[in-house]
Every structure is written in structure tokens, then in C-alpha cells.
Structure 1
Amino acid sequence: MFVLPGLLALLIFIYARPFDFMPALRGVPFLYLFFGLAVFGYLVDLRQGKTDLRKTPHLGWVIAFVLWCFFTAGVKAPASLASDGVRFGIAVVIYFLIAHGVRTFKAFELFMGTILACTLWISAVCVHMGLQPLECVAVSPGEDQNSSGRPDGRACESPVICYQDPPDPEAMYRCEHAGLLGVTSIGGGRVRYVGVLQDPNEASMAVAIGVPLAFAFYQRRRNKKRLALFLLTFVLGAMTVVYSGSRGGQIVFLATIGVYFLERYRLKGLILGVVCALPVLALGGRSGGEESSLERVENLYVGVQLFKQYPVLGVGFEQFTQYHHLTAHNSYVLAPAELGFFGMVAWLSVFWLTIKVPLTVTRTVTEPEGEVARIWAMALLSSMAGMAVGIFFLSFNYHYVLWIYIGVSGAFFAAVKRHKPDFRVTYGWKDFLGIAVGNTALLLFLLVYTARKLASG
């Protein structure tokens, strides 16, 4: 498959961002180069008959969602289409190339192995960072306060110490962990990565949902090397979540474990999953949580109020921060706030179908020769369950990682259908009503809850 080299290069670039650590290459537009290579490879595969134009279950709703995003932007903020539209358009095309370019289990496992390798690298960087002592990090005036800055080697316990005889009197200082390749923590020691995963919450979720992939590879071939790989992934993932101080990351980690135990052992398995995740729950989290929680409540309140005021079109694609100083930090609220009712339903339909593909495999593929499909179905179901929980605390609707996993679900559908031609994933009125009524009920609950919470201080 000629599409694979470009797709794998794109995947490594988006996740691992290796060129961010090479100053001489920072100006090279690798995203567009690899994107063009992947598109060219897909066209070659199409010409040679190695792939076809058969659609995946997500495609119709993806097209509807993208068109609605651009329509709301055109009505509400046409000037934003040039930047926001291009970035989101690339994410959607990446979904399409994965979902319609990766058509065999061999290619699928190569792709999933690359995701696993990237998450292992990210977790290794984060764990190494978390094990380092705190030191002063200088941030130049005018530089983004969330940047990695420049560690100066002076030990510290708080930023106050860093202002005592500073090497650069004009710089702002943070007290952080300094990790590999100049990456530093944020918020007083919360580990993170760079690029699209520079937020500790997003980094911890991306790592946590990668753990089931390692278990799937072990199930595919039960040997000592793959068991060691799974244990390494599990431990590094757990430590990353702890060092990130992400409460959402803890719940994601618990959800990914819980799906496996619940499927195998039912209620006893759920209890066992909680026990396994207890160290992460006990050691994770961070101080100052009350202020952060109230801030999130305010964000949710604003999001629900915006949906009340603009129920049809919303405030427009990527326009939430034009009405509030922070984003919603909740994907289930951000979609209706920015895109109105139809945009909410379209986005949730795409997300639900991403989950429904592996869910349908677990229920309908019962043949002995379907063991590979069932293994990967459980892995994807576990990862997507974690993501479904994680995006309750994140504005993730347009994020590259989400659209990569939507593409993975489509590729998995194509691989299963290649071996089982009668395999189908349906979307009917029950799905539509469940999505529409369910999320509307959530918004009504949040409307009451956030109003009372803010009123009580």
C-alpha cells in the first residue's frame, strides 16, 4: 500500500513531533509534505486497485459535520476559515486516508503499532521529566507562557526562589521539571509533551488510551517479549497519568482498564479494575483543585448559555473563545455551543459510530477465525471508552488525535469487511434519538448544576 509511508510519517509527526527538537528543521512544512505524500500514495493505490471508494459507516456524518462547520464559520466568522478551516480540513482528510486507505489487518496492525510506539515515546519523555528535580525555567517577555522556556539549572521549590538574583532580570520564571530535549513541565510540575499534546490533560489521555493497544498485541501473540511490552506500556502510562496531575487522565485510565475487566468478569471484573487503578487514583491529582473546578463550572455554564442563545447555528466553528476567555473544556458542550443542535448531532453521530464499529464486532463476529477481529475490537472499544470519558473534560472535537482514532475505526471496519463481506454497522432512528435526547438531557442537567454551583460560590 503506497498510502502507508505518508500516513505513518504523518502519524509520527503529529504525535511525536521529532522535528520540534531539531532547530534547523523547525521551519520546514513537514505536515504539508507528509500530507501530500499520503494523498499521492492513496491515489496510486486507488489507480492500482489496492483500495476502492467503498464508504465506511462514518463517512456520511463526517461530510455533514464538516460542511456544517464551514457553513457556521461562513455565517458567523468568515475570516476564520482561512486558518481554522485549513487545519481542521487536514485532520478530516487524515481520517479519510486512514479509514479508506488502510484495508487489511496487516496494514492495520502496522498502523496501530506505530501509534503504540509514539505513545510509548511520549510516556517515556513524560516519566523521565517527572523524575527530575524542580528547577527554574526562564520565559522571555512576549513568549508564550506555556512554552518550554529555558531551564537555567537552579534548584527551586517555588517560582519565588527563581527571582532571587536571576540570570535574566527581564524574564518571567516558572519552577518546573526539565525533561529530555528541552521539554519542561507546566503548572508547577505537571508533565506534558509538545505540539498537539502540550496540555498535560491531553497528553495523559493520549497515553492512557494507548495502553489497550499493547494488550491487544500481547493477545495476538502471547510471548515474553510482548508481555514485557504490555507491562512497560502499562507502568509508563500509569506514571504519566500520575505525574501529569490530571484528574481526567485518572478516570480515562480507569475506564480503559474497566472495559476489559467488565467484559471478562462482569461486576467482579469492574471491582478488580478499580483495584488495579487504585495506585493511579491515589497518587494522581493535584493541589489547587477547587479553583480549577470552579473555573470549569463557569466554562460549562457559558457553553450551555451560548447554546440557549444560538440553538440553530451556535456561535460558529472555533468561535467559543470570542465569547469567553477560555474554551468549554467539554466536547459534549462545545459542539452545541459552537455548532447548534444539528452540529451537536452530527459530531456525536460520528463519535458514536466510531465506538459502534468495534462494539458490533464483539457482538456479531463469533466465528473461530474471527479471533483477530475480536481482539482488536476490545482494544478499540477500551480506548474509545477512555476517550469518551476524557473528552468530557477536554475541548477535543477538532483534535488530530480524535480524528486519527475515527480513521482507525473506519480502517478496522474495512479490514473486518474484507474477511466478512456481510458485516454491517447500521445507524437508525434509535441511534439518532439516543444521541439527540441524551446530550440534550446532559445540557439541561449542566444548566441547572452550573447555575446552582456558581450561585453558591
Structure 2
Amino acid sequence: MFILPGILGLVFLIFVRPFEFIEALQGIPMLYMAFGLAVFGYAVDVRLGFSDVRPVPQLVWSGIFFVWCVITGLVKAPGELAGEALRLTVALILFYVVAHGVRTFKMFEILASAVLVCSLFVCAVCVHQGLSERQCIALAPHEGRLSTGVADGRFCEEPEQCYGPQAEPGYSYRCEKAGLLGTSAIGDRVRYLGLLQDPNEVSLVVAAALPIAFAFYQRRKTSGRLVLLIVSLLLVALTVLFSKSRGGQLVFLTVIGVYFIKKYGWKGAMLGALGALPILAFGGRGGEEASESSLERLECWYAGVSMFRADPIFGVGLGQFTQHHFLTAHNSYVLAAGELGLVGTVVWVSIIWLSVKIPWVAMVDLENVPGADVARIWSVALLASMAGMAIGVFFLSFNYHYILWLFVGLSGSFFMAVKGHLPEWRVPFGWKDITAVTLGSLWVIVVIFLYTRGKI
């Protein structure tokens, strides 16, 4: 109960990032303040008996993951461990307070609604950006190539038009679509700010949030919720389209596919694919740019697997991938293998698998349980979201991303909500799961190595 203000504040700050575009808020550690408020609220809830410290299935594995990450950092790069460990600690605290503090379906739905609203806000900004005219984007000498820059109001078609008498001395320029809140596209691909400044990441996150709109409509089929669902579908689809993200397209297809399969069986997957053909046809990049991007990604994957081969136990250490390659891995499974070795990979994949398995087991176990409609609806929604995440992170370095751990926390929160009604319900995770995760992780690493070696 008392934890909600802190958690809702965290969701708002992580997604919307008001301190990125409101000058008066810059320099204020708002995220850390919200984290403190959430932790304090959780402590109050425990003290008053509104919550307790019973663990969710992912908790033990998250603890092991943290310890192993610290060990790899100590072994490989002790001088840089503090900063990397702090970032990971914040992500794990976010997971913990969401999973253990949100323990009823009422609280779960409040949190889910916040995630949906913030995601749609991001979508609205991205769609507006995608429909805007190109302007000259000025980059100060200290700003990197991927910076949002500042639109100076001059319309353009080519970057060369931005130089000349009106250009600021020492500044570089891009010709990109300029959007609200100081946002701008990159390579004609829409994006947001902060943690969602990458077009691929923004498309993954908003597509993973889409099932929340489906769930709210299924919970109560009113005209208002139908409008919300239609608007959500439209905004998310346009954002994925304008982001030109192939990974985002796959996440969108996965989310829609889960619902079609649940409704119509595996034949429904074909119907879902047909419905998504417009996004596949018009989304994504083509030509030389797409070929260069694919080759660059394969080089990153090969570099990550090479790091794993050099030290399959510890990898190169927490946060050290870019110290051994000029780009990040562009694949969470490769990043885990390259930085954390086999142990870290198995533990991280186990957390993701558990977060998928929780709603899957609930969907199966509660299929014919009277009065379990709410749990059934949210189990499908969460399964769609986590399945989309599991596929989407194959193309992104997302292992330590706050939003990934927020969704892992949502899975844990759902587990607690179901346990509140069915105390004997459990999600088994034993040696069969560990063996499957280990063999699956090794198989992915080997396949990626053989494939990339033949392409590079």
C-alpha cells in the first residue's frame, strides 16, 4: 500500500524522464529519491503487515546473479567495479520492490496501468516525431554522434543544407525529424530520451507493454477500454514502424502471436502473422544501410563469443565488453556469455526463463479454476510481454536495463498475487530446468559462433 507512490514514481521517471527536458529538474537525483521512497514504503508495509518478506521464485537467482557479477568484476576489472555494481544494484532493487511490494491484483493493475500510460506517452512522442518535418539538428562540440542535439528551426532535406552562414561555428549538424520535448530521430528512425534513446529499445519496450491494453479490455469489455486498446495498437504499431527496428517487429509479432495462439491454437499464429504483414512490409531498414548494420551486429556477436572462448568461466568481467570491442554486443545472451562466462549466462537466462514460466504455469494451472478469471487474463498478458522481451533482447544489450528488471518484477508480483488466493500454488524450478537452460545457453553460443565465423 505505502510502496505504491514510490514505485509509480519510479515507473514515471524511468519511462518519461522529465528531468531530461525540464531544466529546473536537471541535477536533482529524482530517480534515487524515488528509489528511496519505494524502499521506505516497502519497509512500512512490512512493519504494518501489508506485506512480508516471502521470496518470489526469481529472488534467489537474482542474488546469485549479483554475487557472480561482482566476482567477475573483482577478477577482471576491480578498478571499475563500483560504478557497474551500482547500476546493477539499482536494477535489482527495482525488481525486488516491485516483485515483493506489489502483492495483490488491485495493486498489480495499478502498476500495470502506469506502465501502459507511460509507454503510450512515449509512443505519442515517437509518432509525432515520425510525422514531423526534417530540421537541422545542431550538435555542440562535446556532444556525441547519437546525441539528440537541438533543432534550430531550419528545415532541410540533406545535412549539407544545415551548414553555411547560419550555422554555429564549431557545431556539427544532422538533418533529422525533430519531435516534442527536444527529441530527434537518428538515421530517420524515431526514438525517445534517456533509457529509450535507442530506436530498437523504444520499439521493444512499447511492444512488450501492449498486452496490458489487451488485459484491461478483457477484464471489462467497455467501449472506453476498447478505444484504449485500439489507440494502443495504433500507437505501438506506428512507433515500431517508424523506428525501423527489425527486433521491434519480432517483439510485436510475438505479442500478437501469443494472443492468436491462445485463442485459435497454432493456426492462429498464421492469422496473426498475416495481420502483421503491413509492419513487416513497410518497417525495417533496407539497402546498404541495413546490410552494414547486420554485418556490424554479426561482428559484435563474434567478438562476444570470442571473449567467452577466451575465458568461459569469468568472461571479461561485469561491464567490460566495450573495453574489448568498440561496440556493445547487441545481443543480451552474447553479452552475458562474453562478460560473465557460462555461470553468469545460465543464471541470467534462468531469471528470464522463470519470468516466462510463472505466467505460463498460471495459465495452464488455472485454466479451469472457478473464479480465477483475473489471474487467467493477466497470465496471458504477462506471458506475451515476457515472451516478447525474451526474443527482443536477442538483438539488444539489455541485461542490466531497468525496464527489463521492471518486467521481471511484474512477473514476480503476479506470482505473489496468485499466491495470495492460492497459497499452495507453486512454480517448480529444478534440475531439469537448470539442465535445459545450460544446454540451451551453450547451444545458442555455439550456433552464433559457427554462424558468425562463416559470415565475417
The alignment's TM-score, normalised by the length of structure 2, stands at 0.98
Q: Map 1:53-452; keep pairs closer than 5 Å.
A: 53-187=53-187, 189-287=188-286, 288-365=289-366, 366-452=368-454
**C-alpha distance in structure 2 between counterparts of 1:116 and 1:45, whole Å:** 25
Of the structure 1 ranges 167-176 and 394-403, higher mean CA displacement relative to structure 2 is found in 167-176
State the secondary structure of the residue aligned to 1:316: coil
State the secondary structure of the residue aligned to 1:138: strand
Counterpart for residue 47 of structure 1: 47
TM-superposed CA distance for 1:162, in Å, is 1.6
TM-superposed CA distance for 1:13, in Å, is 0.3
**C-alpha distance in structure 1 between counterparts of 2:33 and 2:241, whole Å:** 36
Of the structure 1 ranges 274-283 and 163-172, higher mean CA displacement relative to structure 2 is found in 163-172
TM-superposed CA distance for 1:237, in Å, is 0.2
How many residue pairs match? The answer is 453
**C-alpha distance in structure 2 between counterparts of 1:166 and 1:139, whole Å:** 14
Counterpart for residue 27 of structure 2: 27
State the secondary structure of the residue aligned to 2:137: strand
- Deviation string, structure 1 residues 289-333 (Cα, Å, up to 9, x no partner): 000000001001011111111100111011000100001100111
TM-superposed CA distance for 1:263, in Å, is 1.6
TM-superposed CA distance for 1:416, in Å, is 0.2
**C-alpha distance in structure 2 between counterparts of 1:265 and 1:422, whole Å:** 31
TM-superposed CA distance for 1:81, in Å, is 2.1
**C-alpha distance in structure 1 between counterparts of 2:278 and 2:160, whole Å:** 32
Q: Which amino acid aligns with 2:62?
A: V
State the secondary structure of the residue aligned to 1:427: coil
Q: Which amino acid aligns with 1:404?
A: L
Q: Which amino acid aligns with 1:101?
A: G
**C-alpha distance in structure 1 between counterparts of 2:270 and 2:165, whole Å:** 53
**C-alpha distance in structure 1 between counterparts of 2:166 and 2:213, whole Å:** 45
Of the structure 1 ranges 417-426 and 145-154, higher mean CA displacement relative to structure 2 is found in 145-154
TM-superposed CA distance for 1:368, in Å, is 2.2
**C-alpha distance in structure 1 between counterparts of 2:7 and 2:322, whole Å:** 32
**C-alpha distance in structure 2 between counterparts of 1:165 and 1:116, whole Å:** 45
TM-superposed CA distance for 1:181, in Å, is 1.4
TM-superposed CA distance for 1:446, in Å, is 1.1
Q: Which amino acid aligns with 1:18?
A: P
Q: Which amino acid aligns with 1:300?
A: W
**C-alpha distance in structure 1 between counterparts of 2:430 and 2:212, whole Å:** 30
- Deviation string, structure 1 residues 401-451 (Cα, Å, up to 9, x no partner): 110011100100000000011110111111111111111111111111101
**C-alpha distance in structure 1 between counterparts of 2:267 and 2:59, whole Å:** 38
The 8 Å contact of residues 137 and 150 in structure 2, kept in 1 or not, is answered as: yes
State the secondary structure of the residue aligned to 1:317: coil
**C-alpha distance in structure 2 between counterparts of 1:165 and 1:451, whole Å:** 49
- Deviation string, structure 1 residues 259-298 (Cα, Å, up to 9, x no partner): 1101211232111101111111111112310000000010
TM-superposed CA distance for 1:135, in Å, is 1.1
**C-alpha distance in structure 2 between counterparts of 1:22 and 1:45, whole Å:** 33
The alignment's TM-score, normalised by the length of structure 1, stands at 0.98
- Deviation string, structure 1 residues 38-74 (Cα, Å, up to 9, x no partner): 1111110010011001111111111000110011111
Counterpart for residue 455 of structure 2: 453
TM-superposed CA distance for 1:244, in Å, is 0.6
- The alignment's C-alpha RMSD in Å is 0.9
TM-superposed CA distance for 1:453, in Å, is 0.5
TM-superposed CA distance for 1:452, in Å, is 0.7
**C-alpha distance in structure 1 between counterparts of 2:198 and 2:102, whole Å:** 30
Which runs of 5 or more structure 2 residues have no equivalent in the other structure?
A: none
**C-alpha distance in structure 2 between counterparts of 1:344 and 1:181, whole Å:** 38
- Deviation string, structure 1 residues 355-384 (Cα, Å, up to 9, x no partner): 000000011013121110010000011111
TM-superposed CA distance for 1:114, in Å, is 0.2
**C-alpha distance in structure 2 between counterparts of 1:441 and 1:268, whole Å:** 28
Q: Which amino acid aligns with 1:136?
A: C
TM-superposed CA distance for 1:180, in Å, is 0.7
**What is the aligned-residue identity percentage?**
53
Runs of 4+ in 1 over 4 A off after TM superposition: none
TM-superposed CA distance for 1:19, in Å, is 2.3
**C-alpha distance in structure 1 between counterparts of 2:161 and 2:335, whole Å:** 39
TM-superposed CA distance for 1:166, in Å, is 3.8
Tell me if 1:6 matches 2:37: no
**C-alpha distance in structure 1 between counterparts of 2:393 and 2:323, whole Å:** 21
**C-alpha distance in structure 2 between counterparts of 1:11 and 1:80, whole Å:** 28
State the secondary structure of the residue aligned to 2:154: strand
**C-alpha distance in structure 1 between counterparts of 2:434 and 2:164, whole Å:** 60
**C-alpha distance in structure 1 between counterparts of 2:350 and 2:104, whole Å:** 25
- Deviation string, structure 1 residues 14-56 (Cα, Å, up to 9, x no partner): 1111222111111100011111111111110010011001111
**C-alpha distance in structure 1 between counterparts of 2:446 and 2:143, whole Å:** 40
State the secondary structure of the residue aligned to 2:357: helix
**C-alpha distance in structure 1 between counterparts of 2:68 and 2:344, whole Å:** 6
TM-superposed CA distance for 1:169, in Å, is 3.1
Of the structure 1 ranges 280-289 and 52-61, higher mean CA displacement relative to structure 2 is found in 280-289
Counterpart for residue 36 of structure 2: 36
**C-alpha distance in structure 2 between counterparts of 1:19 and 1:292, whole Å:** 32
The 8 Å contact of residues 72 and 318 in structure 2, kept in 1 or not, is answered as: yes
